[in-house]
Amino acid sequence: MSKQQTPTPHIGAQYEQIAKTMIMAGDPLRARLMADRYLTDVEQVNNVRGMLAFTGLHNGKKVTVMGHGMGIPSIGIYTYELFNFYDVETIIRVGSCGARQMNIRLGDIIIAMGCCTDSNYAMQYNLPGFYAPIADFDLCRRAVEYCEKTNLNYHVGNVFATDVFYSEDERKGNWTKMGVLADEMEAPALYMNAARAGKKALVICTVSDHILTGEATTAEQRQNTFIQMMDVAFSLV
């Protein structure tokens, strides 16, 4: 593909400007934070719809950091295009989540080995049953090893991803009874897109609030201080 070509209408980067390994966050300002903190020789490669993306070097390896927006539809569009039109091989999402278990505290790291969802995203594949979206095992294993080595508080297991942030469905508390660790809003689309494209993906979250206790961090803390999960993600590059 020519350097003059832009593969998709939603990402303004040229094909060669996107690395094969990407770390993504819902908030584009978190992408800028990661670029400033972890990358050298940085170039901004996207600003379409304000969805910032930066490519640079991390320990000599080319990496792109980018926002993906909120919700399954948004991350579904961006990661589909990145996997299929930019030939990205690995996408690691870092984000916030709400804890569902009493042994989980604010600031703990959640490594999403699998995810449950109330989304219809999987219906497009016309599968004769229910699909179980899971992370890439090697990425998951290495993330756990880094957390162990650095003495981080972490949990590994299922998360629940919903299409509705402000929900009136009282049944959602039943996910806690099934051992689900936390709620977030993007993992299934990322994991399904990766599976369909034959690529690798992992979701790493920091607990920003607790669904059972009502505890919560501030928006400023979520934007600027969730550094540990980023350290985990960049250890996988």
Contacts of 117 (CB under 8 A, 6+ apart): 72, 133, 160, 161, 162, 187, 188
Confidence at residue 165, expressed as pLDDT on a 0 to 100 scale:
84
Per-residue pLDDT band for 217 (boundaries 50, 70, 90) equals: confident
The two three-digit tokens of residue 55, written as one number: 């490519």
Strand pairing category for 61-67 and 21-25: parallel
- Mark 180-217 as b/e (b = at least 16 C-beta within 10 Å): bbbbbbbbbbbbbbbbebebbbbbbbbbbbbbeeeeeb
Q: Which of 87, 118, 163, 209 is catalytic?
A: 209
Query: Global pTM?
Result: 0.94
SS3 at position 134: strand
Question: Does the domain made of 15-235 have the CATH classification 1.20.210.10?
Answer: no
Confidence at residue 6, expressed as pLDDT on a 0 to 100 scale:
77
pLDDT, one tens digit per residue, over 191-213 is 999 999 999 999 999 999 999 99
The two three-digit tokens of residue 49, written as one number: 């719809």
Average pLDDT over residues 140-146: 98
- Range scoring the smallest mean pLDDT among 6-15, 33-42, 53-62, 183-192: 6-15
209 catalytic residue (yes or no)? yes
Confidence at residue 225, expressed as pLDDT on a 0 to 100 scale:
62
Q: Region of 51 please: left (phi>0), alpha (psi -120 to 50) or beta.
A: beta
